[in-house]
Amino acid sequence: MNSGIITPGALVLSINPLQHQPGDMIQCLNVANDQFGSKKKRNGYILYLGTPDNTQVNTLMNWRLNNGTQFWNYRASGGTLYYSQQGTGAWTICGNGTLTAGTPVVNAVLENTMLVSQDAGTTRHTTSGTSFTDTSAAPAAVAMVDYQNRIYAAGTSSSLFWSNVGTPSDWTNDSSSINIPGPGRLNVAMKVADRLITSKNSGVQHRWDGFSLVDISTNLGPTSFKSMGSVEDYRFYLNRLGIYGHGGIRPEIVSNAVEKQIYNDAEEGIAGTVFENAPGAVHQYQYHVGIGTVTDDLTDETIADCILVNDFQTEEWTNWKFANRPYSFLSFRDNTDVQQFIFGDNSGQCYQLAGTATTDNGAAIEVAMQGIIHMNTLLDKKWNWYRAAFNPGCEAHIQVAVSNAFTKGKKNWMDLGDATNGVVEYRFPSDSRGKFLYWRITEASRFARFHFYGFEYDADIIIK
């Protein structure tokens, strides 16, 4: 029996393996979508600017002036706020840029003025981009957002404050606050569908329209402001029960396919402390969130410093792993109007994803894709041929394991060969008989990316 062409699908860890389609994956590491129904090795990255200090980069921000051309990138690390003119100048200490070390910075922009603040810190503003002034009467904030021509600040307890209309530095005139009820303290304020959504660290959420406060009746709010990402006014964020999307009415879970990496019966999902500061961002329709080291209890595969990646257009999940663990992300448009993606690590260095980079700043990018084939029967099969299509000259390797079980220890991987020729065909060893076929594509070169277009197999069902 020839299967016909099978194209690689998405990472699916949430369903019975006997319900998997041949292209579904139970492991999908360091790949990205190419044309619909194909996969490619993800981009690598290069150094981004220098290291003004050797401490963790807690926050990355961007501010572009109303003239549309002049902008600054900012980083908070080691108790200091730095700027980079046009995203290319060296990191320079901002005037009045002393911060509370180890605490993320939040910001909001209104009327060509940017405000920054921290939990229990001092709120400051700038119109020059390079030097900040303490903002009189403004509260310390754990989140900030512009809404209805004001800056709203989520205070460090349960008060939501707002500035004067059109004057973000004025927190004395026509400025007030409202108490947000419910357990916990505020940790998020976000604008969705022309409404202001607040959330507490208990998960309680409310919706504010400038006049009335509505209880959304949910406890599925973000665990951290840092995990937020936005696509077309749709917000992504991390919660202890999964990744949620928010379109303005109520949050909805979007991570069912990878729930076993968030929490599982083996208690090897996301560590509890990671939820409070997990970094997240959207870049070119992909939501990225760093979740630390996780092991799912379906494949028992461990991914150190895992990054969950969701493709908003195809609703597919994959896992990335960088050679340097990210603690902050930023997507911004550079001085040539190209969208760039950077992240900061715990040593004070930032990095930039680059389409021409085939390594992680010199470290090989390890790719692994794995799936299971059962042919909709528990009868034994005689596995005959495996054929696959790649780009010619790639350095991917093909492995298979014939097994009668779903456990990792029962997979005896056999090397079929490489994919250098592009379209390849390999015969299984003569004793390849079993109920399930696991297929795996691996690659760890430093010199080239690869594209995987699909495969087919030939097998005979053995009727006893």
407 is a domain residue:
yes
Per-residue CA distances from 128 to 105, 135, 330, 458 (Å): 18, 15, 21, 67
Say whether both 155 and 211 belong to one domain.
Answer: yes
One domain for residues 332 and 442: no
Tokens (6 digits) for 354: 């680059």
**Is 92 within the bounds of a domain?**
yes
279 in a structural domain = yes
Residues 349 and 378 reside in one and the same domain: no
Q: Contact at 8 Å (CB) between 255 and 263?
A: no
For the beta carbon of residue 417, count every other beta carbon within 10 angstroms. 14
Contacts of 128 (CB under 8 A, 6+ apart): none
Residues 341 and 437 in one domain: no
Same domain, 247 and 107: yes
Dist CA 283 CA 330 (whole Å): 8
Cα three-residue angle 426-431-433, rounded to 5 degrees: 90
d(CA 46, CA 423): 32
pLDDT given for residue 321 in this prediction: 98
Six token digits for residue 114: 């940017």
Q: What is the DSSP letter of 3?
A: -
Angle at 435 between CA 431 and CA 438, to 5 degrees: 85
* 348, 429: one domain: no
Is 30 domain-assigned? Answer: yes
Distance CA 422, CA 394 (A): 7
Q: Tell me the C-alpha to C-alpha distance, in Å, between residue 420 and each of 114, 390, 394, 396, 399.
A: 52, 8, 5, 7, 14
- What are the residue ranges in the chain where pLDDT is below 70? none
The pLDDT value recorded for residue 409 is: 83
Task: Say yes or no: 26 and 79 in one domain.
Answer: no
Strands of 186-192's sheet in order across = 186-192, 195-200, 205-208, 213-215
Integer distance in angstroms from the first to the last C-alpha of the chain?
17
E strand spans, 180-224: 186-192, 195-200, 205-208, 213-215
At 36 the pLDDT is 86
The span from the CA of 264 to the CA of 271, in Å, is 11
Total domains in the fold of the chain? 2
Asked, for residue 395, whether it belongs to a domain, the answer is yes
Same domain, 24 and 91: no
> 277 is in which domain, residue-wise?
44-283+323-354
The CATH number of the domain where 402 resides is what?
2.60.120.260
Q: Which residues of 283-315 are buried (b: 16+ CB within 10 A; e: fewer)?
A: beebbbbbbbebbbebbebebebbbbbbbbeee
Q: What span, in angstroms and rounded, lies between the C-alpha atoms of 363 and 360?
A: 5
Listing from the earlier edge strand, what are the strands of the sheet with 80-85?
57-64, 71-77, 80-85, 92-98
Mark whether 172 and 217 lie in a shared domain. yes
CATH number of domain containing 327: 2.130.10.10
pLDDT, one tens digit per residue, over 294-337 is: 999 889 999 999 999 999 999 999 999 999 999 999 999 999 99
- Does any domain span residue 289? no
For residue 331, tell me if it sits in a domain. yes
Is there a domain that residue 437 lies in?
Answer: yes
Asked if residues 301 and 371 have their Cβ atoms less than 8 Å apart, the reply is no
Which residue has 């940790």 as its token pair? 187
User: Quick one: 145 and 177 in the same domain?
Assistant: yes
In terms of domains, do 386 and 256 share one?
Answer: no
On whether both 236 and 382 belong to a single domain, the answer is no
